[in-house]
Structure 1
Amino acid sequence: MISTSKHITVFEHQAIKLNQEIDGVLFDETRLKALQSYYGENGVPYYSLIHNGVRFNEYVGVIQVGETIIEVLPKADNSLKGSNEKKRWRDILIDMLFAVGIFDIHSPSNSSLKLKSNSILDLYFELFIKEVEYLLHNGLVKQYRKKEGNVTALKGNILFGKHIQQNITHQERFYSRYSTYDVEHNLHSILFKTIKLLKQINTNVELHSRIGALLLHFPEMPEIKVSESTFEKLVFNRKTQSYKKAIDISKLLLLKYHPDVSKGRNNVLALMFDMNKLWEQFVFISIRRHKEKQITITAQTSKYFWKPESGYRSKIRPDIVVNKDKADCVVLDTKWKNLNGYNPSPDDLRQMYVYHEYYNAKRVALIYPGTNTSKSSGIYLDPITSKEIDKECSVISLSVEPKIREWQKNIYETFNNWLTFGNDNVQKNKNASL
């Protein structure tokens, strides 16, 4: 029997076919056509179109189509099945997003959020609500703005042309341009527009009353059109810095929302994250959080490696460089995929060889998620003699832990053990090649 619920949960790289039932929800033709329309001619990176269906890529998060929520979760192992597996990976994803600072909020503790077990979309909505409640509690910031119109007491500058035109029989009025100090400015217009959007698209009954309370207490603002440039022009100062997180969420929601202009029923909102980039940030922050003071660590450090006769030079950009420009420099590259006992791809190994050369790295390593934590290594071979040379590439697999703080500590300890003591298996692998 088909449930009245409209929440579908899938994993990255999973496909959904027409008339397939997932979590008691039928993926019907209306939902498929909405995703096909959203995909458009240029495509989107979140999923690919297949025959009578879609296949999700390495992006995770939430896509809302009308009142249907499709939640896409990461997955690096097959340790659990069913609803427990979905809850585990949902919690891991949310914890990773918190760890890298995407959900940095003013609340004294993240534990005050009540919707952690629900979708990322609900969490985003609650974070925004919490931020605006925080702003209202502390008092909305006022700003000066220019205004013009008829006033009964002269202030500012009289606009003589309009004054004569409108007040020839009303000598008690003055048409002038003047400055006023109130809460009507772009920051509040953006927040008010977001509150109204939440009122329209929210499907979580637990949030309805809080959104209604915001609409009741937040001063009504004039309607504005928003684009990337709207947010680029915003300037935050000491008084308005507390608005930054609410505005960031507003930007995400307003710019990622694609209304269905033809029928108005299948609006699409996509809040998706590239799992490769999230994994890279998570590993970087985990190591940086626990590292010793004498160790330096940088992310996305680029170097030029090729110059054409004309045009722009090309760069290489490893994910993480530790102790850059020092004798003990090491380079790490993160990959969000489970090797399942296989060797890394030739492209990944060639890439690490280049990092060896250009960063004069003592050691390099590829870092993957996995079922168990393990370290192995292989030796690069001379291109002419096929003999082993003094360059190796390690493969570090990190088990996924349910408790985020313990997981981050284990990531650092595994890295530090590899960095300090080397790989116990290197000598065993000296006679093997990758």
Structure 2
Amino acid sequence: MSKKNLIQVFEYQKLRFDSSENDFTESHFNAMVKFNEKNDNKYYTIIHKGIKFNNYVGVIQIGGLTLEILPKADKEKHDIERQKKTWQNVLLNMLKVCNHIKVDNISETALKKRYNSILEVYFEMYLNEIEGLINSGLIKKYRRVQNNQLALKGKLVFTKNIQKNTVHKERFYCEHQVFDNNHLLHQILYKGLVILDGFIAPNLRDKLNRVLYHFSDFKKVTINATHFFKIVPNRKTEPYSKAIDIAKMIILNYSPNLNAGNDNMLTLLFDMNKLWEEYVYKILQKNKPIGFSVSPQNSTKFWERKRIKPDIVIKNSFGKTIIIDTKWKIINTYKPSDDDLKQMFAYNLFWNAEKSMLLYPKVNQDDSVFGNYHHIPTEKEVNQCKIGFIEITNEKGLRKNRDIATDIFEKLEIV
């Protein structure tokens, strides 16, 4: 994939097809409109002759054009290419931490490699996984087949035998077992490879062709979500799990023929609010101090059938509880919304927490102090909430996950 065929934008940025600054065409626009309509218009907003992106980040590949939507939690407007590289690394790191990119597939060194797009990371992982399976030997499994044959082998299927062999009495329509490689696991992997063939970058083309060679005799079948539920995890299928996970991502996010032309689309999009929440939970869980517990999305009854669930509940060995609610947006210090403050107040009450914190990405804001709610339940001494801001990057680029987690715990003032 050449740089010419890659367009990188930031969340909430606009992209128009009448601009001479990029290769985004009206055909690409029409394909994206149809895709968004099929998904309840949740991924971006359609504007005059263009798209306005929202809180979904990731990659959209339409034929030979790749759009990469990056998160951005600062207001820097100089050295845009460096900014794009930094925030691409931020997104890759969050995906890695949240296991959307498997930890042992992509090392810290590999994350520093300059990928043209995030999809290339997945494509390379997929090919590496399948190469490993080929080198170990593709497993064989028993499968049932039905066909017409000249000898009675297996079980005769009476109804179909009557339908097909009324004239040809010398034939038998039978069902029998075959022990070979042409089973569901490999059919899924093959389908993923076939889709990749239309999207792969030149630097991975040779590897794809080498892998495809080993699947040349496999049956092409239509794969949908139900096929993945048919896979029974066991000792033999366990080595396939990572490759199947990526194949599932590729196949289920593939949209063929959205236009009359050849605008097949492959998408990999993440809600940045959910990704931020999951990322913060994962790094806190991994780097928590001794005597602390970190739990994600505890849920309890709120009103009638409605429930409430804070993003993260932290407890220490002294019985103290604190709530964190993550927000991926830029706000000014001391200006949280009334709804957010009311939400944190309810969390404090239902989880018997003395303190809670709204956690935002830091631009140039300073943390607030723990502010007091004026209603204090009788069993508690205080009922407080603060606004916290955390730096994700520094002058060197990406901050270490451990340092970010340490900063967050320090902000809670219960370490």
Separation in structure 1 between the aligned mates of residue 17 and residue 150 of structure 2, nearest angstrom: 66
Separation in 2 of the partners of 1:40 and 1:122? Answer: 26
The alpha-carbon distance between structure 1 residues 298 and 369, as it changes in their structure 2 partners (threshold 3 A), is same
- 2:128 corresponds in structure 1 to 130
Aligned pairs for 1:177-192 (under 5 A) are 177-192=175-190
Structure 1 counterpart of 2:273: 276
Counting matched residue pairs gives 405
Q: Distance in 2 between matches of 1:417 and 1:245?
A: 36
Aligned to 1:297: 294
Alignment of 1:31-430 (within 5 A): 31-40=28-37, 43-79=40-76, 81-104=79-102, 107=105, 109=107, 111=109, 116-149=114-147, 155-159=153-157, 162=161, 168-169=169-170, 176-202=174-200, 204-260=201-257, 262-307=259-304, 313-323=305-315, 327-341=319-333, 343-371=335-363, 374-382=366-374, 390-401=382-393, 407-420=400-413
Query: SS of the counterpart of 2:388?
Result: strand
Could you say what secondary structure the match of 2:73 adopts?
coil
| Structure 1 equivalent of residue 19 of structure 2 | 20
Tell me if the contact between 1:297 and 1:324 (Cα under 8 Å) persists in the aligned partners: no
Task: Label 1:224 to 1:66 Cα distance change in 2 as closer, same or farther (>3 A).
Answer: same
1:177–1:265 Cα change, 3 Å: closer
Aligned residues: CA RMSD = 3.0
- In structure 1, the gaps of 5 or more residues are 308-312, 423-434
In the TM superposition, residue 415 of structure 1 has moved relative to its aligned partner by: 2.7
Pairwise CA distance, 1:28: 3.0
Q: Aligned AA for 2:118? A: I
Counterpart CA distance in 2 for 1:108 and 1:201 is 21
- 8 Å contact kept, 2:105–2:125: no
1:428 alignment partner in structure 2: none
Indicate how the Cα distance of structure 1 residues 47 and 63 shifts in structure 2: closer, same or farther if over 3 A, else same.
same
Query: Percent identical across equivalent pairs?
Result: 35
| Structure 1 Cα separation of the partners of residues 167 and 213 of structure 2 | 36
Q: Give the match's secondary structure for 1:5.
A: helix
* SS of structure 2 residue aligned to 1:376: coil
CA distance in 2, matches of 1:92, 1:107: 17
Question: Secondary structure at the residue paired with 2:134?
Answer: helix
Gap change, CA 1:262 and 1:337, over 3 Å in 2: closer
Shift of 1:375: 3.2
Distance in 2 between residues matched to 1:144 and 1:105, nearest whole Å: 33
Partner-residue secondary structure (3-state), 2:197: helix
Q: CA deviation at 1:42?
A: 5.8
Distance 1:26 1:156, change over 3 A: closer
**Per the alignment, do residues 15 and 108 of structure 1 end up closer, same or farther by CA in structure 2, a change over 3 Å counting?**
closer
Mapped to 2, the partners of 1:141 and 1:369 lie a distance apart of 47
**Conservation of the 8 A alpha-carbon contact between 1:306 and 1:315:** yes
- Hey, what's the Cα distance between the residues in 2 that align with 1:62 and 1:235? 31
Pick which of 147-156 and 192-201 moved more. Answer: 147-156
- Between the aligned partners of 1:107 and 1:361, the Cα distance in structure 2 is 39
Three-state SS of the structure 1 residue aligned to 2:310 is coil
The superposition leaves residues 301-348 of structure 1 with CA deviations (integer Å, 9 ceiling, x where unpaired) of 1111111xxxxx101011101129983011111111122445211111
Q: Is the 8 A contact 1:336 1:368 kept in 2?
A: yes
AA of the residue aligned to 1:283: V
Q: Which amino acid aligns with 2:85?
A: K
Deviation at 1:122, TM superposition (A): 1.2
Contact 1:91 1:116 in 2 (8 A): no
Evaluate the alpha carbon distance shift between residue 419 and residue 383 of structure 1 in structure 2; reply closer, same or farther with a 3 A threshold. closer
Q: Contact 1:143 / 1:183 at 8 angstroms: preserved in 2?
A: yes
**TM-score, structure 2 length as denominator?**
0.88
Change over 3 Å in CA distance of 1:369–1:217 after alignment to 2:
same
Deviates more, 1:79-88 or 1:360-369: 79-88
Aligned counterparts of 2:270 and 2:346: Cα–Cα separation in 1: 28
CA apart distance, 1:421: 5.1
Indicate the residue corresponding to 2:5 in structure 1.
Answer: 6
Out of 131-140 and 158-167, give the one that drifted further: 158-167
Residue 114 of structure 1 and its aligned partner are, at CA, apart by 9.0
Look up the SS of the partner of 1:20 in the other structure: coil
How far is 1:379 from its partner?
Answer: 2.4
1:365/1:396 contact within 8 Å kept: yes
Contact 2:187 2:221 in 1 (8 A): yes
Q: Which residue of 2 aligns with 1:426?
A: none
Question: What is the alpha-carbon distance in structure 2 between the residues aligned to residue 330 and residue 189 of structure 1?
Answer: 49
The aligned amino acid for 1:123 is V
Which stretch of the first structure deviates more once superposed, 109-118 or 186-195?
A: 109-118
* Residues 258-304 of structure 1: per-residue CA shift (max 9 Å, x gap): 11255232222211111111111111111111113421111011111
Distance 1:261 1:77 in 2: 35
Q: Higher mean Cα deviation, 296-305 or 247-256?
A: 247-256
Q: Which amino acid aligns with 1:336?
A: W
Name the SS for the 2:57 alignment partner. Answer: strand
